[in-house]
Structure 1
């Protein structure tokens, strides 16, 4: 079995059959991305950029869980409390000791807190947040989890120093398909938010599917699930 990220970036011909207008659609949508909030300067060493992004998300999650106010001085203890667990998580993915650190300099701390604050300022309705929703696997794709569901929208948080990509959209569609085949209804929209750049993109799932393929949401999601199953059988 493979990860949802692997599936979203591979099997080009499969994706083209399901959503043939994806590239054209995404070029147009990239021009419609909203600017929400102030961008965060890149202060930390680039080698720990992924670690900083994940640490900021964990600080954000704990702040919501503990109902901590969005103030830098109140978030710092949460940062210190999260470093070890986030380091272990990153090392499981990268197996690269240079991609994490147990001691952050002041600039790295400031960058982490700024990212966490942007997340708190965007996702303000704390009672509406479902963190790390879990999705059962299907066919070739293993069980996985998203970032969060907020006010009827499944969001992926992409805090890298880059724009959104069509593979990010495919990742959202994979999660949506995994929910669809379980006959669940946890959200009706999908979105991308980057707390580093302040970029935001959000659309209803049905409108996205129509634009990508000319088919309704149920047909597109069913086709994705069928492809995941067929790929598993063919291996």
Structure 2
């Protein structure tokens, strides 16, 4: 995405991490320079956030300069320095207090790092740039892909996670977050975990999955088979997980980042 100012004057690295002050790491300048830089970065976040929302079919953006300024979240921007520079990718993460269920139905209070927004500009997709951006975040945060909770993932994002990290077995949740097998491994819990299952959770693990994620967590894999075979399928196994769907089924019908 291009802007009416030179991106290369703002960012000196290919991947830039931003926090509430809306200034790149190591920024040096007078107060007037800081205000100008933060204003331009706010515009970048606003425009990229709107583009991400449109791509995901959302009613309003998840990311903006104002939202980042008033949070403890982090935003990673992927820069293409060619010419005056363009911004080609955005990834927003932040820690959240969540109540989630493991595969047995036990209730946990946790505070994981969450992926809140992820977008690669349409002109730069299918080039592996999304993976470069995601890998940078994983390395800096020192986490594994299965350690993250994903807020309302799109079908494209779920396919991305399956393609590059083999994440396929979703643990059903009653909120908008998606977690995968391995999420609870060696994870400390806040205030312990409850072994009491509500009727809703019991139903979930009796084979009736709740709605999770932006398009329901089970949909990306179930709809692939249904689209190709024109049949209705129940993607859930008896344990509430999603069975393996071969990558060659997903790739032809999904535009991966």
Structure with the higher fraction of residues in strand conformation: 2
TM-score (norm 1): 0.30
Structure number with bigger Rg: 2
Q: Which has the higher contact order (CA 8 A, sep 6+)?
A: 1
